[in-house]
Amino acid sequence: MTKNMIMGGLAVFVLAVLSPFWFNMVTTTQAAPEPELLGPAKEAKKCVLDTYEMRANHMSLLDEWRDAVVRDADRIYVAANGHAFNMSLSTGENSCLGCHEDKAKFCDACHTYTSVDPYCWECHTNPKEIE
């Protein structure tokens, strides 16, 4: 190993470690999505979970719902706030997308931002897309 090789390797390593910093300088960075309530969701003032729980834990809730509906035919979820909801992602007005009508804003904005690729949409469809 000559000194030049070692210094070259070291320079490559330092650049690699700093890559998150310079990569964001040379490319344009998308800002974080701003969550906003639209349509029926804006008036409803109630949801299945409170805001933080919803942001952190919605995938587990949907997973439990799927099992409850598919295996036990149990379709009604009574939330901690006392309201009853239909355990459905995309069917009917009492479902997730029935209230939050804009899938692109309600689901996709954050999923794309954090590189989450849920397989919900391999079976479900966005009701807005069915005409």
Partner 1 sequence: MTQKYLIPLTAVFLLFLVAYAGAGAGLGWFFGIVFPYLAVIAFLVGFVIKVMGWARSAVPFRIPTTCGQQKSLPWIKQNRIDNPDTASGVFIRMLLEIFLFRSLFRNTKAAFNRTASNRITYSWEIFLWVAALAFHYAFLVVLLRHFRFFTSPVSSWVQFLEALDGIVQLGLPGLFLSGVVLPAAVLFLLARRLFDQKVRYISQASDYFPLFLILGIALTGIFMRYFTKVDITAIKEMTMGLVTLSPTIPDGVANLFYAHLFLVSILFAYFPASKLMHLGGVFLSPTRNMANNTRAKRHVNPWNYDVPIHTYEQYEDHFRDKMIEAGLPVEKKE
Distance CA 89, CA 17 (A): 41
Which one among 12, 32, 78, 84 touches partner 1, defined by CB under 8 A? 32
Which one among 13, 38, 40, 128 touches partner 1, defined by CB under 8 A? 13
Distance CA 75, CA 66 (A): 9
With CB under 8 A, what is the number of residues at the site for partner 1? 38
Residue 45 or 52: the one with the smaller Cβ distance to partner 1 is 52
Residue 3 or 71: the one with the smaller Cβ distance to partner 1 is 3
Helices (H), 18-107: 19-26, 39-44, 51-72, 96-99, 103
Which one among 43, 72, 117, 129 touches partner 1, defined by CB under 8 A? 117
Residue 59 or 84: the one with the smaller Cβ distance to partner 1 is 59
Residues near 14 by beta carbon (within 8 Å), at least 6 away in sequence? none
Task: Tell me: does residue 92 bind partner 1 (CB under 8 A).
Answer: no
Provide, rounded to whole angstroms, the least separation between the CB of residue 131 and partner 1: 30
Task: Tell me: does residue 62 bind partner 1 (CB under 8 A).
Answer: yes
User: What are the CA-CA distances from residue 37 to residues 2, 71, 73, 122 (Å)?
Assistant: 62, 32, 30, 25
